[in-house]
């Protein structure tokens, strides 16, 4: 199997990490234990070339590397925040050219390159950088396109009234692909081929570090669909399972020596198309409003419906604000509570939600256990970083929806 993709340094402020990955290198590393003959093709700067070669040697894959004369870095405040891309060169204006061929191939969009590909079975992950045909030209007997919801919508008509399944079918027809897989983040995935639409569940985990999780999904899907010939729906389900294992631990190889997915710890598959999350939080300072915006944007990007008092009620008299906030809370499937500072209004909302049987997920970065006795004692889940809190707020909402349906 051949993986073509970018290699970039990724720096995150919280949790503090500094890794050389990028979509291509991460994908190659994740599946390298299962692939007996894996080749990675990329472009790197001179300082990083030896690091990539050493990694490939250690984990049993070969590399073909071209050098660029400048570094490219992706900087994140937290894993769910958008990256700042730092490079001294106007990279998109002068794309490099990559030409290669093979039987089974996974090709990512590359920030500084355009690829010309010939393959028997080809998986394309556009990465949302530029229009797909500007990133890759290809000739292949079987093609799968794997993208997140925003990428698939842009590649389709962009019509907001269409369902994601309809967008995927339009993309499949437009690019004459055998299958289109839509990565739906915390809600799993959708697989569309010529005969059916399949919903793929998600495997919830307590800890979630989502940086690069979509790259791992694409890598595992390509391994099972392009390399081993599994059906698209089965390959996507195995990819979802492997991604759960990746985000819940330190980065590691998610395919074992026997070519099977390493199972996530204590996680079973759940299904959910959407859920409603209420954000309970103070918003009196710039820092508080920044955190609300970050969590709201992440929840919406992951497919949740969000009620945010900051956005949906705003400021006003207590007689106006309190009833309006609680009216929104009553219709929520779960609550994401931002608890730093133990704002009295937020604590009140947690108690109100608990009385209604609505699950609460709390984010507390400055934690004293004695202050949280009542909150923890009544079943709220506590996290010290936003990524795990946001994802688990969605999953708790899905579980509550399922429990109401069953009862």
CATH of domain 276-406: 3.40.50.450
Residue 369 pLDDT grade (very low, low, confident, very high; cuts 50, 70, 90): low
- Look at residue 118 in the predicted model and tell me its pLDDT: 97
342: left (phi over 0), alpha (psi -120 to 50) or beta: left
Dist CA 311 CA 70 (whole Å):
42
CB atoms within 10 A of CB 259: 15
| Sequence-ordered list of residues with C-beta below 8 angstroms from that of 4, at least 6 positions apart, any chain | 24, 40, 41, 42, 98, 100, 105, 106, 107, 108, 110, 115, 117
Residue 202 pLDDT grade (very low, low, confident, very high; cuts 50, 70, 90): very high
The tens digit of pLDDT for each residue in 245-270 reads 999 987 788 998 888 998 887 678 89
Q: Where in the chain is the domain with CATH 3.40.1190.20?
A: 2-248
pTM value? 0.93
- Look at residue 36 in the predicted model and tell me its pLDDT: 83
Dist CA 220 CA 30 (whole Å):
8
CATH number 3.60.20.10 is the correct assignment for the domain at 2-248 = no
pLDDT for residue 178 is more than 80: yes
Structural tokens at position 287? 């820092």
Q: Of 359, 299, 307, whose CA–CA distance to 335 is shortest?
A: 359
Residue 88 pLDDT grade (very low, low, confident, very high; cuts 50, 70, 90): confident
- Look at residue 94 in the predicted model and tell me its pLDDT: 66
- Look at residue 358 in the predicted model and tell me its pLDDT: 95
Residue 367 pLDDT grade (very low, low, confident, very high; cuts 50, 70, 90): low
Give the residue, 379 or 134, on which the prediction is more confident: 134
Q: What percent of the chain has pLDDT over 70?
A: 96
CB atoms within 10 A of CB 366: 10
Lowest mean pLDDT among 13-22, 106-115, 367-376, 379-388: 367-376
Per the CB < 8 A criterion, the answer to whether 244 and 271 are in contact is no
Q: What percent of the chain has pLDDT over 90?
A: 72
Structural tokens at position 138? 């290809």
- Look at residue 370 in the predicted model and tell me its pLDDT: 54
The tens digit of pLDDT for each residue in 63-74 reads 999 998 888 999
The tens digit of pLDDT for each residue in 1-33 reads 999 999 999 999 988 999 999 999 999 999 999
Structural tokens at position 258? 């026997």
What is the arithmetic mean of pLDDT over 172-190? 95
Element containing residue 403 per DSSP (H, E) = helix 386-406
Dist CA 36 CA 258 (whole Å):
10
- Look at residue 356 in the predicted model and tell me its pLDDT: 95
- Look at residue 93 in the predicted model and tell me its pLDDT: 58
Query: DSSP string of 121-139?
Result: EEEEE-TTSS-HHHHEEEE
The tens digit of pLDDT for each residue in 89-113 reads 766 556 789 999 999 999 999 988 8
Dist CA 267 CA 233 (whole Å):
19
Lowest mean pLDDT among 143-152, 203-212, 321-330, 398-407: 398-407
Q: Where in the chain is the domain with CATH 3.40.50.450?
A: 276-406
Per the CB < 8 A criterion, the answer to whether 246 and 213 are in contact is yes
Dist CA 28 CA 149 (whole Å):
24
C-alpha Rg value of the chain to the nearest Å: 22
Dist CA 1 CA 131 (whole Å):
25
Residue in the structure block whose two tokens are 């759960």: 244
Average pLDDT over the chain reads 91
- Look at residue 259 in the predicted model and tell me its pLDDT: 87
What is the arithmetic mean of pLDDT over 126-146? 91
């Amino acid at each position: 199997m051949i993986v073509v993709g970018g290699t970039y340094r990724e720096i995150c402020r919280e949790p503090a990490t500094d890794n050389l990955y990028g979509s291509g290198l991460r994908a190659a590393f994740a599946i390298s234990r299962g692939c007996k003959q894996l080749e990675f093709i990329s472009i790197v700067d001179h300082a990083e070339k030896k690091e990539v070669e050493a990694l490939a040697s250690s984990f049993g894959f070969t590399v073909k590397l071209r050098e660029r004369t400048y570094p490219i870095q992706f900087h994140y405040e937290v894993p769910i925040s958008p990256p700042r891309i730092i490079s001294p060169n106007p990279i998109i204006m002068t794309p490099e050219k990559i030409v290669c061929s093979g039987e089974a191939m996974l090709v990512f969009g590359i920030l500084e390159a355009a690829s010309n590909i010939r393959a028997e079975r080809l998986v394309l992950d556009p990465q949302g950088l530029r229009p797909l045909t500007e990133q890759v030209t290809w000739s292949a007997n079987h093609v799968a396109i794997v993208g997140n919801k925003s990428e698939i919508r842009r590649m389709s008509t962009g019509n907001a009234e269409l369902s994601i399944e309809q967008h995927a079918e339009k993309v499949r027809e437009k690019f004459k692909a055998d299958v289109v897989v839509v990565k739906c983040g915390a809600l799993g995935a959708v697989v569309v081929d010529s005969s059916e639409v399949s919903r793929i569940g998600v495997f919830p985990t307590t800890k979630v570090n989502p940086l690069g999780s979509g790259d791992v999904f694409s890598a595992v899907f390509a391994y099972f669909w392009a390399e081993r010939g599994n059906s698209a729906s089965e390959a996507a389900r195995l990819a979802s399972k492997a991604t759960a294992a990746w985000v819940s631990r330190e980065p590691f190889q998610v395919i074992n020596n026997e070519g099977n997915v390493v199972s996530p710890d204590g996680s079973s598959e759940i299904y959910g198309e959407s859920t409603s999350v209420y954000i309970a939080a103070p918003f009196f300072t710039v820092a508080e409003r920044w955190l609300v915006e970050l969590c709201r944007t992440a929840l919406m990007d992951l497919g949740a419906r969000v009620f945010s008092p900051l956005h949906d009620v705003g400021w006003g008299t207590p007689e106006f604000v309190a009833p309006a906030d609680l009216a929104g809370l009553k219709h929520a499937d779960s609550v994401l509570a931002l608890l730093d500072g133990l704002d009295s209004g937020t604590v009140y909302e947690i108690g109100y939600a608990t009385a209604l049987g609505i699950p609460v997920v709390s984010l507390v970065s400055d934690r004293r256990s004695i202050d949280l006795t009542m909150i923890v004692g009544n079943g709220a889940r506590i996290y010290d970083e936003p990524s795990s809190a946001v994802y688990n707020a969605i999953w708790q909402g899905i579980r509550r929806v399922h429990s109401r349906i069953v009862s």
